[in-house]
């Protein structure tokens, strides 16, 4: 088997945020709801160090409405998670249903993440867009061929079809100030071209973090927002309850998971038709997601920042 030398990742996202105190706008037309933002990031991690004068670029389709060739910024290592105080205790719940499972919660104290997981090349790193870039045009489209090239760690190309365009925004139709001692049913509209869904909810303070996920096997759902789900993965994940099938339009958080918490945030992710391909020494990932973040209980959260992890987090342990 050829050792992995370069990992090329395109991450595509449609994101909608509903902030505490802002109505979720149930039954309003799509144009009246909180706006969704399209984004695309390109990353190249390699076991080959970038020499002086190294270059990396990505050619993109006209439909993306950017320059036809994007220049990647090059550094000598992966971004590192920020150093900080000891992580608070993690209280985990999982699975949809009205009652908490007999084997829950699971209480752990997470260890600091490794500087670089063993499966990720770590001698050089390149990325686009650079900081403070303008957002993508709201009319941007994905289909077409993406080709990256470098003068130090090879290159690759991948073609996206019409059913691999930006996913529509996630439209959660249930809202309000939920009673945290009762089951909380979340409902949404189907997202066209999504192949499955994952829900997570968070609360906590500086001493503990309470989490819930719709996945029956949370260890297999770890970091699924940032890594590709292949066709074979999808079949297994649906059977095992890791992802909710695309035809499902509701899920219930068991009663009492967040009892006594001061605030709860729900993050729902729709999974698109990802790509994972191998070309000689280059592995290519295309990760297509649509997410919505909404408050379920809007009292201020203390010491918890669940949304939009830094790019380093998507290189974390995938639980497999």
Q: Token pair of 179, please?
A: 């009673």
Residue 156 lies in a domain: yes
First to last CA, the chain: 20
Please, which pLDDT band fits residue 113 given cuts at 50, 70 and 90?
low
Q: Token pair of 5, please?
A: 């030398």
Q: In this model, does residue 287 exceed pLDDT 90? A: yes
Its pTM stands at 0.86
If DSSP states are collapsed to H, E and C, what string results for 140-191? CCCCEEEEEEECCCCEEEEEECHHHCCCCCCCECCCCCCCCCCCEEEEECCC
What is the average pLDDT across 70-86?
A: 77
Residue 320 lies in a domain: no
Q: In this model, does residue 173 exceed pLDDT 70? A: yes
* Predicted pLDDT of residue 53: 94
Q: Token pair of 93, please?
A: 């719940």
* Predicted pLDDT of residue 117: 58
Residue 97 lies in a domain: yes
Residue 257 lies in a domain: yes
Query: Domains in the chain: how many in total?
Result: 1
Find the range with the poorest average confidence among 106-110, 202-206, 256-260, 310-314. 310-314
Residue 292, Cβ neighbours under 10 Å: how many?
25
What is the rounded distance in angstroms from the CA atom of residue 42 to the CA atom of residue 186? 33
Q: In which domain, by residue range, is 132 found?
A: 6-315
What is the average pLDDT across 147-169?
A: 96
What is the rounded distance in angstroms from the CA atom of residue 41 to the CA atom of residue 46? 17
Torsion sign across C-alpha atoms 249, 254, 260, 261: negative
How do residues 267-278 score in pLDDT, each as one tens digit? 999 999 999 999
What is the rounded distance in angstroms from the CA atom of residue 15 to the CA atom of residue 303? 23
Strands 282-297 vs 6-17: parallel, antiparallel or unpaired: parallel
* Predicted pLDDT of residue 86: 66
What is the average pLDDT across 102-110?
A: 89
Residue 1 lies in a domain: no
What is the average pLDDT across 258-265?
A: 91
Residue 297 lies in a domain: yes
């Amino acid at each position: 088997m050829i050792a992995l030398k370069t990992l090329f990742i395109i991450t595509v996202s449609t994101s909608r945020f509903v902030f505490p105190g802002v109505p979720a706008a149930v039954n309003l037309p799509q144009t009246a709801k909180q706006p969704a933002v399209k984004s695309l990031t390109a990353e190249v991690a390699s076991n080959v160090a970038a020499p002086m004068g190294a270059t990396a670029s990505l050619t993109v389709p006209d439909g993306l409405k950017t320059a036809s060739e994007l220049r990647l910024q090059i550094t000598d290592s992966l971004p590192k998670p920020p150093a900080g105080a000891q992580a608070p205790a993690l209280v985990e719940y999982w699975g949809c249903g009205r009652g908490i499972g007999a084997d829950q919660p699971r209480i752990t104290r997470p260890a600091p993440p490794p500087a670089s997981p063993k499966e990720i090349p770590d001698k050089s790193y390149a990325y686009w867009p650079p900081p403070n870039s303008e957002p993508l045009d709201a009319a941007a489209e994905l289909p077409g061929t993406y080709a990256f090239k470098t003068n130090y760690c090879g290159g690759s190309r991948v073609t996206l079809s019409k059913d691999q365009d930006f996913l529509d925004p996630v439209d959660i139709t249930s809202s309000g100030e939920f009673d945290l001692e009762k089951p909380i049913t979340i409902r949404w509209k189907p997202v066209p071209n999504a192949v499955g869904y994952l829900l997570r909810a968070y609360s906590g303070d500086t001493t503990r973090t309470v989490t819930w996920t719709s996945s029956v096997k949370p260890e297999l759902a770890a970091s699924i927002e940032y890594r590709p789900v292949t066709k074979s993965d999808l079949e297994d994940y649906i059977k095992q309850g890791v992802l909710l099938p695309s035809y499902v339009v509701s899920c219930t958080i068991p009663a009492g998971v967040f009892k006594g918490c001061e605030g709860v945030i729900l993050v729902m992710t729709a999974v698109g038709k990802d790509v994972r391909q191998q070309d000689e020494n280059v592995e290519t990932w295309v990760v297509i997601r649509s997410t919505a973040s909404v408050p379920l209980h809007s009292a201020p959260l203390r010491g918890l920042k669940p949304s939009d992890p830094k790019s380093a987090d998507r290189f974390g342990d995938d639980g497999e």
